[in-house]
Copies of this chain bind each other. A is one copy, B any other.
Amino acid sequence: MTFLKGSLLVLGYFFVAHSFKNLFGFLGKRKFIKSNELLHEEWARYSAFYKYQPIDLVRKYFGEKIGLYFAWLGVYTQLLIPASIVGIIVFGYGVATVDTDIPSLEMCDERLNFTMCPLCDGACDFWRLNTACGTARASHLFDNPATVFFSIFMSLWAVLFLEHWKRRQISLSFSWDLTGIEEDEVNNESQNAEMYTSAKHTHTHTPSFPTKLTWKDRLPGYFINVSSILFMFGLTFSAVFGVIIYRITVSALMAMSPDPETKSNVRVTVTATAVIINLVVILILDEIYGAVALWLTELEIPKTETTFEERLILKAFLLKFMNAYAPIFYVAFFKGRFAGRPGNYVYVFNDYRMEECAPGGCLIELCIQLSIIMLGKQLIQNNIFEIGIPKLKKLVRAIKDKGTAQKESEDERPPQQWNRDYDLAPFEGLTPEYMEMIIQFGFVSLFVASFPLAPVFALLNNVIEIRLDAKKFVTELRRPVAIRAKDIGIWYNILSGMGKFSVIINAFVISFTSDFIPRLVYQYIYSQTGTMHGFIDHTLSYFNVSNFKSGTVCNLYIVFPFRYKDYREPPWSAEAYQFSKQYWCVLAARLAFVILFQNLVMFLSLVVAWVIPDVPKTIVEQLKREKKLLVEVFLQEEKDKFQLIHSLFSKDPPRHQRHLYGSPLPLISYDLV
């Protein structure tokens, strides 16, 4: 009978207005009221991290929307496993080859002593390249051919993830019986739900206005929107710039210190501290931006709840994305590119010299930046914002209720379930949960070329994250009103957008931030032996100390020319300090690589998306079967109806009585309505 039931259910929602369904759902939930214990046992415990999630139970208890969130989180975490395995292998390759890597060996070699131009004016002295040995060795860990392969792999991984999720979503919406529901139905429901949950901004965005708003009414709202978003961007950029200034000054100060140990690590330490400042700024601004996005969206007065949510998400995403990635973008693509050259440096506030990149490439700094921001963001958000704050709020509420406590204590009844439920924090919606994951997805996809371990950390975080969220939903929050949803909505678009964006970003990171292309060019064009020997020498240009502006350098007892990391003509050439032929050659190679990489990856992703069918085979067959059964049932019913009518005309009570009892017609019609 199960197939009949299934088919009749399908038959049901094709016709019956949705209210009936809600009723059933409601009854269903009542029946499973005790399932929260079960959820707590099987799902909402850290000790259950290795188990699959009981998604159907989650959906039964929390409704489709939250069920989909956890299903999505599960798929994402699951797919992070292969990614992190490959990531570890790639990192292992870096570790294994660090001692055989010629460029870093050359940098650490005492014998070929390159005397480099000072890192800062006045205080700083000329320095030996081999003091930056550590940086060079470290940067090789992330800047090696395996990384190129890995970033291609990760771009395809992102496509694979989206395709896989599409399939999962379809099979879920089939088994959860969502295939039929329309947008508008979802809207209405979530609107009603919204009524209960957050009454605080319903008055603004439910269409409580009798008249339709004209563009004149909306114009100021949009104007404020655009202007304040631009202002927020400005805020973000200025924060980044402030940190840059900090970095410049501190590195100048540290470079003055006599201790060579400090000197050699100046870059790493400065970067680290600067990044921590960045992190704090990001975390603070994140909270502000969340509130701003909400406020701005309310100004727009969207019609339905769905549009409200979508616009809110888009704004919040835009702001938080900028906020989280602006410093990383700076390090990856701008740092050290506008530093100028010895004797003609670029100055900010005409006494701070723009910072340069490490001799080992900016990649190591980018890597530090990424790892600290990613890990810090996750740890702090998980611990403080998701555990600490709620507990604090609870405490506050408890204290507030102290006053009313006396009254309660007077009558002896123990506090009822509903009292205890009411004491819990209200449900704030899924947006923050998704947002956190999306930003993390950015770390995993956008800059993976510079930090192959990102998937590993993401995986570790998510294994905890799932149980953390589960715990929170089951024990910490009031049970949210179940909201129907047939997909994860705009988040999917954001994800696929990031996937596309990551391709070009990775291409630029590999070709411009890392030293991959210069190495190739040297090996195949300039190297006499066809090996990497002499690469370092090739990347350093000559500079004649006499060309320094007087006073910028302390001790001029040295006379032989100095080196700096750039492709420029030597002082003795006709066009001294102009970009050399090598510079243009390498630039061309880098750009060619970008084109090649981008188009190759895009083509491969198209192939992957084309190979994987959106709808699983099993579902297709099942749908066909159900359709067939529907037709049969329907025709059967029609036949019975005809016989019935027929029998009415031919006066023969017993026959049509018999027939009536035999016919499935009444049952079916009850099932339907």
Task: Give the interface of A toward B (CB within 8 A).
Answer: 14-17, 182, 184, 504, 580-581, 584-585, 587-588, 591-592, 594-595, 598-599, 624, 627, 630-631, 634-635, 638, 641-642, 644-645, 648, 656, 660, 665-666, 669, 672-673
A638 touches B669 (CB 8 A): yes
B665 touches A641 (CB 8 A): yes
With A504-B599, A599-B504 in contact, is A15–B592 under 8 Å at CB? no
Q: What B residues does A14 contact at CB under 8 A? A: 14, 630
B591 touches A631 (CB 8 A): no
With A504-B599, A584-B584, A630-B15 in contact, is A624–B669 under 8 Å at CB? no
11 new A-B contacts at CB < 8 Å, known A14-B630, A15-B635, A591-B595 = A15-B630, A15-B631, A15-B634, A16-B631, A581-B584, A584-B585, A595-B598, A638-B669, A638-B672, A638-B673, A641-B669
Distance in angstroms from A65 CB to nearest chain B CB is 23
Taking chain A's interface residues, is the majority helix, strand, or loop, or is none over half, making it mixed?
Answer: helix
Distance in angstroms from A664 CB to nearest chain B CB is 13
Q: What B residues does A635 contact at CB under 8 A? A: 15, 673
Q: What B residues does A16 contact at CB under 8 A? A: 631
With A581-B581, A631-B15 in contact, is A641–B641 under 8 Å at CB? yes
Distance in angstroms from A644 CB to nearest chain B CB is 8
- Among residues of B, the one whose C-beta sits closest to the C-beta of A665 is B641
Top 10 A-B pairs, shortest CB-CB distance:
A584-B584, A591-B591, A588-B588, A15-B634, A587-B588, A581-B581, A584-B585, A591-B592, A584-B588, A15-B631
The CA-CA distance from A532 to B92 in the complex, in Å, is 55
With A595-B595, A638-B673 in contact, is A645–B630 under 8 Å at CB? no
Contacts A/B (CB < 8 Å), 21 sampled: A14-B14, A14-B630, A15-B630, A15-B634, A15-B635, A182-B624, A580-B581, A584-B585, A587-B588, A588-B588, A591-B592, A591-B594, A591-B595, A595-B598, A598-B598, A635-B673, A638-B669, A641-B641, A641-B669, A645-B660, A648-B648
Q: What B residues does A584 contact at CB under 8 A? A: 581, 584-585, 587-588
- Among residues of B, the one whose C-beta sits closest to the C-beta of A582 is B584
Copies in the complex: 2
Distance in angstroms from A521 CB to nearest chain B CB is 11
The CA-CA distance from A101 to B620 in the complex, in Å, is 63
The CA-CA distance from A641 to B263 in the complex, in Å, is 92
Q: What B residues does A585 contact at CB under 8 A? A: 584
The CA-CA distance from A629 to B592 in the complex, in Å, is 60
The CA-CA distance from A16 to B628 in the complex, in Å, is 10
Q: What B residues does A15 contact at CB under 8 A? A: 630-631, 634-635
The CA-CA distance from A663 to B128 in the complex, in Å, is 100
The CA-CA distance from A584 to B14 in the complex, in Å, is 66
B184 touches A624 (CB 8 A): yes
The CA-CA distance from A541 to B591 in the complex, in Å, is 25
Distance in angstroms from A8 CB to nearest chain B CB is 13
The CA-CA distance from A673 to B645 in the complex, in Å, is 16
Distance in angstroms from A603 CB to nearest chain B CB is 10
- Among residues of B, the one whose C-beta sits closest to the C-beta of A634 is B15
Q: What B residues does A660 contact at CB under 8 A? A: 645, 648
Q: What B residues does A599 contact at CB under 8 A? A: 504
The CA-CA distance from A184 to B591 in the complex, in Å, is 48
Q: What B residues does A17 contact at CB under 8 A? A: 631
Q: What B residues does A673 contact at CB under 8 A? A: 635, 638
- Among residues of B, the one whose C-beta sits closest to the C-beta of A569 is B581
Q: What B residues does A580 contact at CB under 8 A? A: 581
The CA-CA distance from A17 to B630 in the complex, in Å, is 10
Q: What B residues does A581 contact at CB under 8 A? A: 580-581, 584
The CA-CA distance from A634 to B16 in the complex, in Å, is 8
The CA-CA distance from A587 to B641 in the complex, in Å, is 80
The CA-CA distance from A630 to B182 in the complex, in Å, is 15
Distance in angstroms from A203 CB to nearest chain B CB is 28
